[in-house]
Amino acid sequence: MTQRGERSTGGGILLAPDPEPVVNRPASRPGNRGVAENPSRRILVVAPQPFYEDRGTPIAVRQVLQALAELGRTVDLLTFPVGEDVELPGLRIIRSGNPMGYTRVPIGLSLRKIVLDIPLTWAMRRLIMSGQYSCIHAVEEAAFPAAVLARRHGVPLLYDMQSSLAEQLGRLDPLGLPSTHGALAAMEGWLLRRSSMVVTSAGLAVRVRQMVPDVPVREWHFPSAPADSTPVDVQSLRDELGLDDAGPVVLYSGSFEPYQGLPDLIAAIPTVRARMPEVKFVLVGADRANGLMHESNVAELLRSGVLRIVERQPREAMAAYLALADVLVSPRAYGGNLPLKVFDYLAAGRPIVATDIPTHRTVLSEERAVLVAPRTDAIAQGILAVLGDTERAQRLGLAARRYAQMHFGWNRFVGSVEALYAETERHAGVPRA
């Protein structure tokens, strides 16, 4: 039943800014690894993103929720009032208020995100005050108010560090000034010291250990989604994209944010085409927030048919895109967190060309990828090296898929989630500040 001040949203409840959050409890369901609902074991996951949308952090959060459901844990997910509901055993979705009536939230820091963080924080406070949670799992900036509330109410805090907020904010004017950068790093250190446990995207644990050596930290190794697609599906997609010849396809998937290095990849296209005129490039993941298609060099490549830019696709549709590719590229320019797409790239069994930055090195090596400097010329030469050597391309693709099967299977991920929460509860109340 929907209470006063709430609006039903199908599988979840959208909370108005003022009333107390009241939601219906799901019935226990058979077949899970764990046990039926125990209020003292309930977990509060706070995700300040649109949920669910097929993009980085929401995908990661959904995988964690699926693992917790399989483990029999009961979870409240507090999230933005934007996105699709997801039904999982033991999961309640609680949506914070939406005073401005937003229907979408762009990737990265934005005014909309800041506005929506305010009612999210108030809803988090009310929920934690209810005293029903054994753990608070706070994602990204939600961990700051969660750190205060968790300590006040004696609940362990798991800080999910999908990216370094200090690093992200430090790239924005005027926050990149030396004095401001120091303040941002101090804030990040404050949060790390007040966390019972920190789990980071692959590549960020080193930063955490350098800042606060005694904080327990783990890294996410998300499960790979194998690119199982039939030849009919791939041919249908090729026809849909207007790729009417048998020329090779270089494919990128992911967001179009500046740190992804797409300008260098696009600038590399003429060099690749000069050697291999039949090559086509497909970039998947565009949205209305980026202006990439309005740049002059991009417009010319689009008109000539060399380049296809595709809007962000549902996750289940990506199997055909990955299977279409002869080369998968990750031209990321900077950033300490590993992009989720790399896990799927590995499982796809296609040769990978990626920039040789520490983040990629957490799961890639010369045995299963071509690693190049984050420069236009190096990216072009890496792509040409793969396309010009069929035997090497096959060897790299096979090694990548074997590595994914060995290290990034679903059961292994579920076990890592179970161990993560057990360790969080063991470290509850350990003072570091």
Q: Where are the domains of the chain?
A: 6-223+411-426, 231-407
In total, the chain counts a number of residues equal to 433
Q: What is the dihedral of CA 378, 165, 283, 399, to 10 degrees?
A: 60
Strand pairing class (91-95; 133-139)? unpaired
Q: Crossing angle for the helix pair 296-304 and 262-275, nearest 10 degrees?
A: 40
| Mean pLDDT estimate for the chain | 85
- Give 338's DSSP letter: -
Q: Kindly state the average pLDDT of the residues 245-259.
A: 89
CATH classification of 231-407, choosing from 3.20.20.70, 2.40.50.100, 3.40.50.2000, 3.30.830.10?
A: 3.40.50.2000
Q: 258 pLDDT exceeds 80? A: yes
Strand pairing class (12-15; 6-9)? antiparallel
Q: In percent, how much of the chain has pLDDT > 90?
A: 66
Q: Give the residue, 6 or 133, on which the prediction is more confident.
A: 133
Lowest-confidence region among 19-28, 37-46, 153-162, 291-300: 19-28
Please report which confidence band the pLDDT of residue 172 belongs to, taking 50, 70 and 90 as the band edges: low
Q: 370 pLDDT exceeds 70? A: yes
Residues 6 or more apart in contact with residue 386 via CB below 8 angstroms: 326, 327, 351, 353, 370, 392, 393, 396
Cis ω before 334 (30° cut-off from 0): no
Nearest by Cα to 420 from 37, 46, 64, 59 = 64
The superfamily in CATH containing domain 6-223+411-426 is Glycogen Phosphorylase B; (3.40.50.2000)
Tokens at residue 336, please?
């300490």
Please, are residues 250 and 329 in contact by the beta-carbon 8 Å criterion? yes
Q: Do domains 6-223+411-426 and 231-407 have the same CATH topology?
A: yes
pLDDT of the residue at 177? 60
Q: Kindly state the average pLDDT of the residues 235-252.
A: 91
| Tokens 């924005």, located at residue | 172
pLDDT of the residue at 293? 56
Q: Kindly state the average pLDDT of the residues 99-109.
A: 86
> pLDDT by residue (tens digit) across 334-352?
877 888 899 999 999 999 9
Please report which confidence band the pLDDT of residue 292 belongs to, taking 50, 70 and 90 as the band edges: low
If residue 397 lies in a helix (H) or strand (E), which one and from where to where? helix 390-407
Q: Residue type for 373, please? A: A
Please report which confidence band the pLDDT of residue 36 belongs to, taking 50, 70 and 90 as the band edges: very low
Please, are residues 49 and 116 in contact by the beta-carbon 8 Å criterion? no
pLDDT of the residue at 411? 94
Question: What's the alpha-carbon Rg for the chain, to the nearest Å?
Answer: 22
As beta bridge partners, residue 329 has 353
Tokens at residue 13, please?
């409840």
Q: 397 pLDDT exceeds 80? A: yes
